[in-house]
Amino acid sequence: MSEHGLGTAPDDHDHATERSSSRTLAVVAAINVVGFLAELAGGLLFGSVALLSDAFHMLFDALAYVMAFLASYVADRYGENDRWSYGLHRLEPLSAFLNGVLLFPMVGFILWESFQRFLDPVAISTGPTLVIALGGLVVNVASVSVLGGDEMSLNERGAFYHLLGDAGGSIAVVVSTAVVELTGVRVVDPITAGLIAVVITWSAVSVVRASGSIFFLRTPIDSGAVRQEIEAIDGIERVEDFHAWQICSQITVATVHITTTDAEASDAVIRRAHEKLAAYGVDHATVEARSPDTERDASLAHTH
């Protein structure tokens, strides 16, 4: 006996929330593209490698928001059907993985340029660089204000924390530029760029690891705790098998095979097992139950 469909199914409110989240991410992406262009132009014109590194950091986040927006839009437009059991939600971890991988050559470029500038420091136009860096900080603050709120989606929360990191990078550029202006120590600029590259690397590793966990079907919840709670349900003798994985960061799937103490109570214990799984964030669950009598009948049929 099995029961399906007690996982959460998207309703009209969920679709409206996804569309609102997509629009918010699109606005933030547009803001960051403008900031990237300004910082890129400033870094090239005024010779600041720190400003260039912060510009590329901003570009990565803008691309991440664009791809998150596109993945959310496509997944919402092309939902579950006979051909695609879970729609196109896998686009989300795929886009995240590609974004993370593309960061590494960017980091290599920043570190190489920083090393060259460290060996042979060059003069930078501190005044214009400081103005543009402050503009980048304003862009990040504006983006944070657009995303900020008590009810952010998972994608929005991820973007929010990235933006906080961007704001920190912009502050580092502002401080390093001010230090160069006040002390004349030019080596501060490439050192700051190197520190920003470290932050970008940390972001890249985090994104690749998270998306890789989804692709390689890492269990997103505590299997041991789930098994214990399900086995503690009255009427369940033991959990025979349990698997959980993610389609994307917003959809968790699980299958459970249980043995009940009484065939008469199968429907009730299946409902309670679904409730336990839902409490752990499982959206789609399949629970299969069998009683000792069913197992004995199957064993006898096999021997004959």
Residue 233: CA atoms inside 13 Å, Cβ hemisphere, count? 29
pTM over 0.75: no
Query: How does residue 65 score in pLDDT terms, banded at 50, 70 and 90?
Result: confident
Residue found under tokens 């505590």: 222
Per-residue model confidence as pLDDT tens digits over 187-239 = 887 888 888 788 778 877 887 888 889 889 999 999 999 999 999 998 888 89
Task: Give the span between the Cα atoms of 115 and 106, in whole angstroms.
Answer: 14
Q: What phi, psi does 254 have (nearest 5°)?
A: -145, 150
User: Which residue would you say has higher pLDDT here, 35 or 166?
Assistant: 35
Residue 18 has pLDDT above 80, yes or no: no
Q: Which of these, 13, 74, 64, 11, lies nearest to 211 by C-alpha position? A: 64
Task: Give the span between the Cα atoms of 195 and 213, in whole angstroms.
Answer: 27
For each of the domains in the chain, give its residue range(s) and CATH number, in order of start.
8-215 (1.20.1510), 223-303 (3.30.70.1350)
Per-residue model confidence as pLDDT tens digits over 134-175 = 887 887 777 777 766 555 555 566 566 666 666 777 777 788
CB atoms within 10 A of CB 242: 18
Residues 6+ apart with CB under 8 A from 78: 84, 87, 88
Helical ranges in the chain per DSSP H: 12-46, 49-77, 91-119, 126-147, 154-183, 188-215, 223-231, 266-279, 292-303
Whether the Cβ atoms of residue 7 and residue 283 lie closer than 8 Å to each other: yes
What HEC string does 61-126 produce? Answer: HHHHHHHHHHHHHHHHHCCCCCCCCCCCCCHHHHHHHHHHHHHHHHHHHHHHHHHHHHHCCCCCCH
